[in-house]
Structure 1
Amino acid sequence: MKHIWIVLFLVTSQLFAKSEIFIRLSQVGFLPNDIKSGVILSDKELNESHFKIINSTNNKFEFDGKIGNDEGQFGNFKYSYKFYFSDFNKVGNYKIALKSYRSFNFEIGNSIYSPVVKELMKFFPIQRCGYTNPVGHEVCHIADATSLIDGDKTLIQTLDVTGGWHDAGDYVKFLSTTALTTYTLLFAYDFNNEKYGFDFDNNNVPDILEEAKIGLDWMLRAQTDDNRLIIQVQNLQDHDVGWRLPENDSLTFNRPGYIGIGKNIIGIYSATLALASRIWKEKFENEVFADECLTTSQKYYKLKDVVQDIDSAGTGHYLDNKHEGKLALAAIELYITTKDRNYLKDAKKYGLAAGAEYWWSYGNISTFAHYRLAKNDRYFLELIKQSLNSFNKSRNSKLFGETVSLGWGSNLTQIGTALQAILYSDISKTNEFDSLKISVRDYLLGKNQWGISFVSNIGSNYSKNLHHQISFINKITLPGGFAAGPVLKSSVQSYNLPFTQRDRYSKFQTEYAYYRDDRMDYVTNEPTIINNAMAVLLFGYFIE
């Protein structure tokens, strides 16, 4: 009998020793009046348990709260719980304490999101190409484009499309993503020039407009003599020559440019230039550049009825499946700039055709147009609301509040759902979807199953091994790097990625949400210029 008790004691002790509790919440923190919440993963029951908020400076208990009911099994954890502390709004630095377990640090304060935006903006100078004063590498790709590809024909001629940004961790450049990135930066400033007029380099020019100019200059260079556009520079051979700094690229003099045009490309291209025209005229009083942007925007918009719906030039990346939303955006931006009501008529026509998209990605940005149109016609506000109701339904059914199913670029898509909530509230003057935008924000900064901030150098535990050549070769954590985000486990497995290290988050992986902080993971861990631009727009909104 004595031996039985000893065995039982040892087994019980081992089970207790293996019991773990993980507390997930934003590692940046909260504005004083925010909705404040977190999630607990546990392999032991915690019903009726209380959590405490501890001041990180003096270790004093500041708040006592009760966790919610068990939400059920999550992945490898038998129990999961939500907890809330919105009533606690004292400015300071804190941790959540539950029994002997502690969360990462977080802060409550009014100025906590400015450092996030500042960090995200550091990514763009690293992505710069050509003679654009890049950071982290030397001037590169000075011969773009070394030949031109027009359908099945390779033309032995060149066109100066130096400059712009490398799209991601590789050295390919795309017109569609450059234009959307540039538009997003410009839109942010136009949306609220106080929040987004930050000048971290203290040169009296808003940083967001300085960076947008990199994109604008490249977009204007992308015009061909026959009124088409360079859609892409370089192809998949970029991936076949190994990791290198861009100035050491063995393909420097073998970087073709692909010629194309379509309604979708015209839409985002003309919209961006029309918006730029207003800003450069009003902010900088630069009539010459403003006129160049507007004239070019109008020139290409006029071609919309004589070109194909969807451009498919290039190597098949970033292909849209519709064009109406982007044409609506071009038309409404041209209307705002020129006051020509023919553009407004077009904008409404294309905006109605686009409808509610229930999504957000590089090809699904109709809400930008619907937001502009809603100022003239409230029906377009209802289209935004339809999508938001769908996102809320998804969020409310998931422990960590994901607003969409997780596919490639899920962080971008989730950001887009929060941006739609922001734009809706700006027109409706309601707080109906405040919980959605805060939920997405917090998810990206640590309130997720892995307990990771997807923004490099932000939070206590962040993405460190992004799929990015420059940062890897320079042996640094990528400044402002923003991971692509989790996907289905089967999606990652289908690529047979050659991971370089063990999965330190294996305990938290599920079939439906899988993320690897590994430099060889270009599915969940590659940064892109679009993602960073959208993240700047989201987190900048919370600057006070």
Structure 2
Amino acid sequence: MRLIIAVLLMIGAGITEGCTPSEAVNVFIRINQNGYRQDDVKTGIVFSEKVLDGVNYVVINTQNNKKIISGNLGQSLGTWGRFKHNYEIDFSALKDPGTYQIQIRNNKSHDFRISNDIYSGVTENLIDFFRVQRCGPTNPMLHGLCHNFDSPYIAGDSLFGKVDVTGGWHDAGDYIKFVNTAAFTTYMLLFAYDFDPVRFGFDRDNSGAPDVLEEARIGLDWLLRCNYKPGGLITQVQDLRDHEVGWRLPEDDPLRYERPAFKGIGKNIIGIYSAALALGSRIWKAKFYDDDYSRRLLESAENIYRLKGSAPDLDTAPSGMYQDQKFEGKLALGAFELFSATSKGSYLKDSKDYAATAGPDYWWSWGDVNSLAHYRLATEDPKYLGYIENNLTHWNHLSDSTVYGDIGVYPWGTTHLLFGVILNNILYTKVTGNSQFESLAQKQMDYILGKNPWGISFVSGVGKTYTKHFHLQITYLKGIGLPGGIAAGPTSQDVLKNYQIERKPSGLDLFNSDNVKYFDDRNDYITNEPTIVTNATAVFVFGMLNRK
């Protein structure tokens, strides 16, 4: 009886994908709700607490109700949570543009499109998220001018006095700013444009600067301010008091006059900071002919890079957040971008040495960027591509053992990791022309956009049923949706058990397993908080997948 009530609640919330009451308890259909491009691998998952072996399914064209594909479910792929019977449907043969639906008995999937333009507009929305995250006098979206007194003093350099580190982005749902994540974000926005200036050349406000570079400029300007004196770098603005004063709009922050800056350094920070500024220097010189700004960026990048000989391997994050575990990949990336900007052979040698030591990550996050360095170096020496192939081979093996085709790893930031799998495939395909990992990449995108146990797209505004209750103060307090937000996604119980979070009951709870859970709850800062780093990777991925 409790199960029936839970499912009926989900019907009211629009989560059952069109199931009728008599069948809703038993059968659920999960697909990529955004749809598929014509040549994509196209798969869905059907699951139930009851055996469905041999049950017939059809794919119909919803515009004329014509049956396009008919087949029978095969053997179950395994168990997820309480649902012991999970089946894959492969309808890759369907290539004609149109709107379709999968039907099994009386159960219907969401309608989905097949078209090469299904990702059109997504990248633009993702960039709007950064405008919501803007801090200081940067023309933010959805909130007022904020934190114009950053910062009254520098922890670690108390004699310096006040310092101007206004601007930049709030990192996530809170109002702290980090050089580590801001430099990564800035680099990824610049990298996207450098990778394909045509795809990322859109300029919606007709300012003469592509949107992605306008946003990257927010990051570059703030990173320059953080290099507040020769050899001095601020790595964080504000401390954990930010988390203790309750939910408020940034312009109403009672701590606006009490936001200290923190001095820090480490080879990891040196690497990603130098990478962002050196790449920015090259783009601003070539694109905008701004020799003065280009020079300032390059001087700061080189000056900070020179500190690597005396710097510790890793910085110590003042708040304990975004603490790197390694530095070689970031330093390899920084050295390569400095080589590209200066043609100095010593930087190329450093990059090759650090990249070889770094090896494959078998991961992707703000702290695991070896693949970017390996991709850059592969243009000089193809052997570095092998590290990216090692990543993809490893993830492909993991994907083969899961019900949904995702890689079956659920850290704090699952969606970012999955976007990283897709990014690695894009880099690999660009160099080799080989599409052997295309199915792996497609399955990760499918998972992000609805082909997951919860039947939810983790990207705001993409798909029919998507995350609504982000852990973000601005949109919650204003009672509005978050443009371009991406939830962190399902997380393992090994992580969740360490935090006490009060959540409301939800129809999605039915689909949580003992080991992996997701909550579309505004209090959940683990599975449901958007971050600038995830959006930065997603901007690149969606931009490259969009076929205009």
Question: What interval of TM-score do these two structures reach, taking the shorter chain for normalisation?
Answer: over 0.9
Report the counterpart of residue 29 of structure 1 in structure 2. 35
Q: Secondary structure at the match of 1:297?
A: helix
Q: Secondary structure at the match of 2:235?
A: strand
**More moved, 363-372 vs 295-304:** 295-304
Q: Give the gaps of 5 or more residues in structure 1.
A: 1-14
Report the counterpart of residue 477 of structure 1 in structure 2. 481
| TM-score (structure 1 length as normaliser) | 0.94
**Pairing partner for 1:508 from 489, 511, 520:** 511
- Summarize the Cα distance change of 1:490–1:345 in structure 2 as closer, same or farther, 3 Å threshold: closer
**Pairing partner for 2:105 from 79, 99, 102:** 99
Q: Deviations over 1:176-221 (max 9, x none)?
A: 1000000001101111112222223343321111100000000001
**Pairing partner for 1:143 from 141, 144, 149:** 149
- Summarize the Cα distance change of 1:118–1:59 in structure 2 as closer, same or farther, 3 Å threshold: farther
| Preserved CA contact (<8 Å) 2:62 2:99 | yes
Q: Whole-Å Cα distance in 2 between the matches of residues 27 and 18 of structure 1?
A: 19
Q: Which amino acid aligns with 2:54?
A: E
Q: Secondary structure at the match of 1:40?
A: strand
**Pairing partner for 1:377 from 374, 377, 381:** 381
Q: Secondary structure at the match of 2:545?
A: coil
Report the counterpart of residue 426 of structure 2 in structure 1. 422
Report the counterpart of residue 86 of structure 2 in structure 1. 80
**Pairing partner for 1:116 from 122, 125, 145:** 122
Q: Which amino acid aligns with 1:53?
A: V
- Structure 2 matches for 1:377-416, cutoff 5 A? 377-416=381-420
* Cα distance, 1:402 vs structure 2: 2.1
* Cα distance, 1:490 vs structure 2: 4.4
Report the counterpart of residue 253 of structure 1 in structure 2. 257
Q: Is it true that 1:341 corresponds to 2:345 in the alignment?
A: yes
Q: Whole-Å Cα distance in 2 between the matches of residues 264 and 115 of structure 1?
A: 34
* Cα distance, 1:386 vs structure 2: 1.1
Q: Whole-Å Cα distance in 1 between the matches of residues 282 and 512 of structure 2?
A: 47
* Cα distance, 1:512 vs structure 2: 2.8
* Cα distance, 1:100 vs structure 2: 1.0
Q: Whole-Å Cα distance in 1 between the matches of residues 43 and 274 of structure 2?
A: 42
Q: Which amino acid aligns with 2:257?
A: F
Q: Secondary structure at the match of 1:358?
A: coil
Q: Secondary structure at the match of 2:102?
A: strand
| Preserved CA contact (<8 Å) 1:27 1:446 | yes
**Pairing partner for 2:522 from 519, 522, 525:** 519
Q: Secondary structure at the match of 1:283?
A: helix
Q: Which amino acid aligns with 2:539?
A: V
Q: Deviations over 1:290-345 (max 9, x none)?
A: 11111211111111111111111421110111111111001111112222111111
**Pairing partner for 2:365 from 361, 364, 386:** 361
Q: Secondary structure at the match of 1:505?
A: helix
Report the counterpart of residue 58 of structure 2 in structure 1. 52
- Summarize the Cα distance change of 1:289–1:66 in structure 2 as closer, same or farther, 3 Å threshold: farther
- Structure 2 matches for 1:267-306, cutoff 5 A? 267-306=271-310
Q: Give the gaps of 5 or more residues in structure 2.
A: 1-20
Q: Whole-Å Cα distance in 2 between the matches of residues 394 and 489 of structure 1?
A: 19
| Preserved CA contact (<8 Å) 2:230 2:303 | no
Q: Which amino acid aligns with 1:391?
A: W
**Pairing partner for 1:350 from 351, 354, 368:** 354
Q: Secondary structure at the match of 2:223?
A: helix
Q: Is it true that 1:238 corresponds to 2:275 in the alignment?
A: no
Q: Which amino acid aligns with 1:98?
A: I
| Preserved CA contact (<8 Å) 1:122 1:479 | yes
* Cα distance, 1:67 vs structure 2: 3.1
Q: Is it true that 1:433 corresponds to 2:426 in the alignment?
A: no
Report the counterpart of residue 532 of structure 2 in structure 1. 529
Q: Which amino acid aligns with 1:399?
A: V
Q: Which amino acid aligns with 2:208?
A: N
Q: Whole-Å Cα distance in 1 between the matches of residues 455 and 380 of structure 2?
A: 43
Q: Which amino acid aligns with 2:134?
A: R
Q: Is it true that 1:222 corresponds to 2:226 in the alignment?
A: yes
* Cα distance, 1:39 vs structure 2: 0.8
* Cα distance, 1:116 vs structure 2: 1.9
| Preserved CA contact (<8 Å) 2:79 2:403 | no
Report the counterpart of residue 8 of structure 1 in structure 2. none
Q: Whole-Å Cα distance in 2 between the matches of residues 286 and 331 of structure 1?
A: 23
Report the counterpart of residue 538 of structure 1 in structure 2. 541
Q: Which amino acid aligns with 2:109?
A: S
Report the counterpart of residue 4 of structure 1 in structure 2. none
| Preserved CA contact (<8 Å) 2:450 2:457 | yes
Q: Deviations over 1:416-443 (max 9, x none)?
A: 1221111111111101111111111111
Report the counterpart of residue 70 of structure 1 in structure 2. 76
Report the counterpart of residue 3 of structure 2 in structure 1. none
| TM-score (structure 2 length as normaliser) | 0.93
Q: Deviations over 1:44-65 (max 9, x none)?
A: 2222233222223343333324
**More moved, 469-478 vs 93-102:** 93-102
Q: Whole-Å Cα distance in 1 between the matches of residues 159 and 469 of structure 2?
A: 39
Report the counterpart of residue 16 of structure 2 in structure 1. none
| Preserved CA contact (<8 Å) 1:65 1:85 | no
Q: Whole-Å Cα distance in 1 between the matches of residues 135 and 104 of structure 2?
A: 49
Report the counterpart of residue 267 of structure 2 in structure 1. 263
Q: Secondary structure at the match of 1:97?
A: strand
Q: Secondary structure at the match of 2:68?
A: strand
**Pairing partner for 1:206 from 179, 203, 210:** 210
Q: Whole-Å Cα distance in 2 between the matches of residues 357 and 216 of structure 1?
A: 27
Q: Deviations over 1:489-522 (max 9, x none)?
A: 34324312011x2122111101232100000000
Q: How many residues align?
A: 527
Q: Whole-Å Cα distance in 2 between the matches of residues 526 and 155 of structure 1?
A: 37
